[in-house]
Amino acid sequence: MAEMWTVLIKNNSGAEVVVEDLGFSILNGAAINIYEEYTFDEIAGSDSLRALVDAGTLVVNDGTNDLSASDGVNFLTLDHLRWLESEYYDKTELQTSGSAQVHWDNITNVPSFGSPSWIEPVKYRVLEVASSAPASPSTGDVYVDSNTDHYMKYDGSSWQDEGAVSTDDRIIDLSNGTENVFTWDGSAWNDEGTPGDNSAVTINDDGDGKNAQYVYSTETSKWIKFADVDFESHLDGGAGKHDASEIDVEGTYASAPSSPTDLETVLSEYNTEIQNLDNSLTNLSLDDAYDGSGSGAGRIIIVDSQPVKLDASSGTDAPIELTDLSSAPTTNLANGQLAMINGILCAYDNTRGKWLSVHREVLCFGRRGRSRRQYLAYAAGSLASNNSGYRIMRNATIVGISAQLDASGTCDIYIRKNDATSNIATLSITSSLGSQDVGLNVDVDQTDFLQSYINAPGSGVQDPMVLIEVAWRF
């Protein structure tokens, strides 16, 4: 282990000085020990710091004496570059097989592995299994009445009976601390245990009467929704038509005799109508089904039993095609809508009032060591973001930000753009290991570039890491 050393930097220049490649500033008349915030290799590799010391703008103190400009430069380079040679692999060693070892966990920006592990579908996400209704429900909430073993769903004003629990029904119990799945065996609910990380499930009705898909996070012990399945049953004729149980032989349909007659006559009439219907169905297109009785009356499919499946396994065609649009749709907008816009799959975000790409970019800023007031580095390595930044390739919206520290601390994370000192987004961490905000709605434009600055009181915070989630905006 190399010795720790003091690198005390003094500023007697008469003005505040910014050390560009380290991303920190030092006030006039101040003295700081930058070893507390920077590593040996960062200090020894700082061209900006050496230039300022060489020019006499900043002064190096070795812990005892102020050094001349030339001695200060030597102090920052020669002695500690030798230390770096003994402590770190050089370029030749890293490029030579078997001469250096790098652990996978220490490599940043590597791809993650794994995929959702699907379990059997569940019927509802229920607030609880209880003998009385939960207080302050929201529209779509469901609970199981333990007195009657019936599902009860809140319609916005009252609880509606959704029918009795059946054997082998499965639910997610939201009152359970880890949101476990429970199965009804005919007399009691049986806990299936805590789901595994990345467990995925289809829910028959998650509050809006439609199927949805959720994935489980062991980090939060919650099921996270990632997709709606907005197909509805196309087999029910609706209120304007009759179900099979409502069909009467006489007088119900125009094709049946208006007065009682023998069954042969009735069947003959219906056989003629069935033939006509068969001829019509043979030439029926999906566009005809959509038009229905006009104005797209047939466009809604109610999925109240099993999912609709588009099986393309026996052919070479895609199961579904979305026409690529040159501009975003503007009418009849709602959450859950999908569109291909300029080659990018997008979903309409009703909360933010805009079309956002399904794919999200995650931008990473961070810094090893202790940080107080400085710009964070980004994916280019140790390059502080005040020197450059992430350039936005198309109009986008910042939808989330998270930050993590090595130890509990207090700081503000500022997101800035285009070298401006104004903040377009802020995340505060107060006496904690980290924080996050997934409700951001901050628009940035093509050619903007993003930067991150940390402001920490006192002795600063250790090893800050910041993630910014960006969706393309249309």
Query: Which sequence spans correspond to the domains of the chain?
Result: 8-91, 117-232, 244-291, 357-473
For 197, the 3-state DSSP assignment is coil
Per-residue pLDDT tens, the chain, 474 aa: give them: 344 566 788 998 999 999 998 888 899 988 888 877 887 777 777 888 889 999 999 998 877 888 898 888 888 776 556 656 666 677 777 777 667 776 545 655 443 435 678 999 999 999 999 999 999 999 999 999 999 999 999 999 999 999 999 999 999 999 988 999 999 999 999 999 989 877 899 999 998 888 999 988 887 888 988 788 765 543 344 455 444 444 444 455 555 666 656 666 767 777 777 777 777 777 777 777 777 777 777 778 888 989 989 999 999 999 999 999 999 999 999 998 999 999 999 999 999 999 999 999 999 999 999 999 999 999 777 899 999 999 999 999 999 999 999 999 999 999 999 999 999 999 999 999 999 999 999 999 999 999 999 999 999 999 999 999 999 999
- Sequence-separated (6 or more) residues with CB below 8 Å from residue 385: 23, 365, 375, 376, 377, 378, 450, 451, 452, 453
For 180, the 3-state DSSP assignment is coil
pTM of the predicted model over 0.75 = no
Do 344 and 325 touch, CB atoms closer than 8 A?
A: no
- Return d(Cα 223, Cα 357) in angstroms, integer: 22
Name the DSSP class of 409. E
pLDDT at 2: 41
Do 219 and 231 touch, CB atoms closer than 8 A?
A: no
pLDDT at 109: 46
Do 234 and 301 touch, CB atoms closer than 8 A?
A: yes
pLDDT at 439: 96
- Sequence-separated (6 or more) residues with CB below 8 Å from residue 433: 404, 405, 407, 408
Pairing of strands 159-164, 170-173: unpaired
pLDDT at 42: 79
CATH code for residues 357-473: 2.60.120
Tokens for 381, please give them: 């390595």
Tokens for 356, please give them: 């956002």
- Sequence-separated (6 or more) residues with CB below 8 Å from residue 378: 363, 364, 365, 366, 385, 388, 389, 390, 452
pLDDT at 258: 60
